Amino acid sequence: KAGVTQTPRYLIKTRGQQVTLSCSPISGHRSVSWYQQTPGQGLQFLFEYFSETQRNKGNFPGRFSGRQFSNSRSEMNVSTLELGDSALYLCASAERASTDTQYFGPGTRLTVL
């Protein structure tokens, strides 16, 4: 099976712009979670989607949003970008929710100038 794919792999944006990142989960996986990784804060949970519904949300401002489509693919959007949003954004998929193992994609490296 193909792994989790994320596009684009690299992005450079300027402050105030918005960005959309895409994630395609492993075939058959219905749960998709998003994480932000920075050197200072480590890996932090953004949100989780299961069957097109947001099940959980981390402690991030409303500028961060996401959605999931009927084929389980997911997108996350960040509006009004700030310098501090520069990070590696990781998507993870699991077969269901609960304690199923999450498999991560390669990430999207976002740089905000």
Partner 1 sequence: EDQVTQSPEALRLQEGESSSLNCSYTVSGLRGLFWYRQDPGKGPEFLFTLYSAGEEKEKERLKATLTKKESFLHITAPKPEDSATYLCAVQAGETSGSRLTFGEGTQLTVNP
Residues that bind partner 1 (CB under 8 A): 4, 31, 33, 35, 42-45, 48, 50, 55-56, 58, 90, 92, 94, 97-107, 109
Residue 53 C-beta: closest distance to partner 1, Å: 10
* Span between the terminal Cα atoms of the chain, in Å: 37
Q: How far is the CB of 96 from partner 1 (least distance, A)?
A: 9
Q: Is 25 exposed, middle or buried (0-12, 13-18, 19+ CB in 10 A)?
A: buried
Output 70 or 98, the one with its CB closest to partner 1.
Answer: 98
Pick the closer one to partner 1 by CB: 42 or 62. Answer: 42
Report the DSSP beta bridge partners of residue 100: none
* Least distance (Å) between residue 16 CB and partner 1: 27
d(CA 60, CA 58): 6
Task: Find the shortest distance in angstroms from Cβ 80 to partner 1.
Answer: 25
CB contact at 8 A, 85 and 110: yes
